[in-house]
Structure 1
Amino acid sequence: MKFSLIQIASFLGILVLFSSFDSENKVSKKIVVENKLHFDRNEVVSIRLNANKSLSEIKDFSALLVKDASGKLVVTQLIDNNLDGTPDELLFKAAVPAKSKVSYTLFTDSKLKTPKSSNTTYARFVPERIDDFAWENDRVAFRTYGPEAQRLVEEGKEGGTLSSGIDLWLKKVNYSIIDSWYAKNVTAPGYYHIEHGEGYDPYHVGSSRGTGGTGIWEKDSLHISKNYTKYRVIAKGPLRTIFELDYAPWSKYGVTETKRISLDLGSNFSKFENKISSSSAIPNYTLGITLHKEKGIVAINTQKGVFRYWEPIDDSFVGEGIVIDPKVVKSALDHRSKAADQSQILVVTAPKNNTLTYYVGFAWTGSAQVQTVQDWDKMLERQAQIIQNPLLVIIK
């Protein structure tokens, strides 16, 4: 039997097609996730796609999937950290009991899709509220303020906010509220300052650091930046939101900052990775937590790198905190002042290689995540242990 050139070419094309499917389906790796701590953990973990040759050669990362030991697909998210168009990490959430190991399988299958998540993380620039930048997950929400809000204040106009502090939004629902609250605030100004059943924003920042803002502590004074000048969204998805905020040079030291902030699903803590540069050596790069009207309880633990405030707000309580590697903490103080917004916990640090990494979080009794200061202390203690003992991920 003779075959035409067209038939031969068609046959070869089919072979190539099936070969590509076969090659794709051969990618299967066992992932072992180990929890060395004494409590159960349910956290987002990362697979570095360029750390394993068989993964880095995959052309279509959207075909990557993860299933648990029972064969159930779990939610995944691809992250392109440098925005070059190629994913760098694959995220999934691992549930690992105390002092245990759990196995997952990483594989490719173009016919299957990662399952949808009922909850998500989220972040965006908010032009309908001047130029806020807000972010949230299923447990907490934060915001800070941009250059237009700063300009309005400096020109003596209404509606602006001059602050590089970090604001907290108290939410009691696990779904996203940012878009809804801002939209309703357009038609009913001040909407999100009133409790409507989902939570509200009673938290005052002003010129304070809010929870986790930065400054330079020198001669009993805290020198601070103005509002962020630029933003970049790196990722937003079911498991992790990442963005960056730039700040113009400030203080006599000409400090410039780029804060890369990330928030994982299920966590009460935003991770800050601050890149810092200056025209001369910075004496005391400092983090702060406002004490508002000083009615709360302060706890400072430099040995563990845990700094806590527990305060009454309206008819409930809010716990705020900073968790940081104690090796980069120089000192900390409970600073009280008669000046407005200047009573604060101040954590003086020694950044390494012009970078400081720390975690900023809170919990509100209205959300039922905590009920007592002891609950909040336990959450902070666990976060400190998590930082020192990340889940160990091994690909086999």
Structure 2
Amino acid sequence: MKPNKVLLLFFFVTLLSYSQKTKIITVSNDLNIDREFETIELTKAALGLNSTDILEKFGIREMGTSKFLVSQCVDENGDGISDVILFQPTIKAASSKKFEVILNNDAKAKEPNNYCYSRFVPERTDDYAWENNKVAFRTYGPVAQKMTEDKVKGGTLTSGIDAWLKRVEYPIINKWYEKYTNGTGTYHKDTGEGLDNFHVGDSRGIGGIAVKIDSVYYLSKNFISWKNITTGPIRTSFILTYADWDAAGNIITEVKHISLDYGNFLSKFEISVSGTKSLSAGITLHDNDGITEANLKEGWIDYWQPLEDSELGTGIVFPKNTGIRFEKYLNPKKDLCNLYVTLKVKHDKVLYYAGFGWKKQGEFTTKESWEKYLGQFAKKIDHPLKVNIK
């Protein structure tokens, strides 16, 4: 056989092989509300791909169109090969859409912006910070803890979650830390992008955890190690590990898998925990001059408060039938005052979402609009988009 015919045959067989891997994805919404900014995860196994297939070579587009959706490939197990491809469809109320996953080398030709970003920040002691196009957060590591314990200025001892109140779509973490480290500015003053004026201290901030024994809430300290899993246009995720800690003689182990998706105001917290049958997640009450609400049936708690020249809504959302009780816990020490929801530990796991809506950011200008968002978010996690693959 002539060389050019061999090459043609090889090309045909390769093309046939990949064409057989084209999959039709039907995404269905059974709620009477429009859905967007919800992430669909497609594994290689679900797509019928081989372990050697390269997910980055595939694109996702709506049937009947030529435009590819933004997608992101993620290496979940850290072996250097992507296991999952992510995308975010927009689905109208009580309807469905079809998408196709196909081989397309041009699908990623235009690099999307990496709005969903996280990293370890050694230049600011040892923070870990994360953000998307709506919100930003950070928490604190072992060096900051040791500085506090050694009474060295600049330390921070807390496992609470800090909020950075951004009001721009583009990433700000690196920019704000650069101002801090080179002395050209401060992220504690709003120059148009937002600021950090959210006090955490010993509080739970937004989504920090505790274990309640009798009438006392016991707390972990700073994280001791971190692992970044992914950053990109759709999701950032990472793992924080904590030293074992004591809750009235009960030794608690704690590992947080945190992720934040594009368009969301709430981070997802997947906690691996042992030593307790329940875990409490809290939001700080600061000066206790705001309004707390809780709806265990729907699956959310929140606090709407004045904050300097604006207002702020903070909240926690959790799956149906996992909330045991809530408590507005007041203490003579201000930083220990938190609104808590106590959640069931199932198979050594706890799942919840925590975040905030800042009035100056513009999407939540009233307490009612913030609580509507939390209520709908709870409905969506209890009724995830249905995915059928053919």
TM-score normalized by structure 2?
A: 0.95
Amino acid at match of 2:250: Y
Point out the structure with max Rg over C-alpha: 1
Is 2:27 aligned against 1:33?
yes
1:332 positional shift = 1.1
Distance in 1 between residues matched to 2:8 and 2:277, nearest whole Å: 67
In structure 2, relative to structure 1, the CA distance for the partners of 1:283 and 1:78 (3 Å cut) is: closer
1:145-199 Cα offsets, whole Å, 9 max, x none, are 0000001001110111001000001000000000000000112387011101000
Is 2:154 aligned against 1:159?
yes
Q: Where in structure 2 are the equivalents of 1:111-260 lying within 5 Å?
A: 111-113=106-108, 115-118=110-113, 120-188=115-183, 191-251=186-246, 252-260=249-257
In structure 2, relative to structure 1, the CA distance for the partners of 1:388 and 1:114 (3 Å cut) is: farther
Judge which range, 329-338 or 145-154, deviates more.
329-338
State the match for 1:265 in structure 2. Answer: 262
Three-state SS of the structure 2 residue aligned to 1:186 is helix
Which of 97, 103, 106 is matched with 1:102 structurally?
A: 97
Q: Aligned pair count? A: 386
1:19 positional shift = 2.0
Distance in 2 between residues matched to 1:328 and 1:378, nearest whole Å: 20
In structure 2, relative to structure 1, the CA distance for the partners of 1:112 and 1:377 (3 Å cut) is: closer
Amino acid at match of 2:119: R
Amino acid at match of 1:172: R
In structure 2, relative to structure 1, the CA distance for the partners of 1:118 and 1:57 (3 Å cut) is: closer
1:367 positional shift = 0.4
State the match for 2:279 in structure 1. Answer: 285
1:273-303 Cα offsets, whole Å, 9 max, x none, are 000123xxx2642111110000110001122
State the match for 1:275 in structure 2. Answer: 272
Identity %: 38
Distance in 2 between residues matched to 1:371 and 1:52, nearest whole Å: 42
Structure 1 residues without counterparts, runs of 5 or longer:
1-6
State the match for 1:3 in structure 2. Answer: none
The answer as to whether partners of 1:75 and 1:114 remain within 8 angstroms in 2 is no
Structure 2 residues without counterparts, runs of 5 or longer:
none
State the match for 2:66 in structure 1. Answer: 71
In structure 2, relative to structure 1, the CA distance for the partners of 1:79 and 1:180 (3 Å cut) is: same
1:58 positional shift = 5.8
1:33-78 Cα offsets, whole Å, 9 max, x none, are 111111111122111221242x236622221101123221111111
TM-score normalized by structure 1?
A: 0.93
1:202-221 Cα offsets, whole Å, 9 max, x none, are 00000010011011112322
Amino acid at match of 2:165: L
1:102 positional shift = 1.2
1:89-131 Cα offsets, whole Å, 9 max, x none, are 1111100011111111110123543543246200000011010
Amino acid at match of 1:29: K
Three-state SS of the structure 2 residue aligned to 1:197 is coil
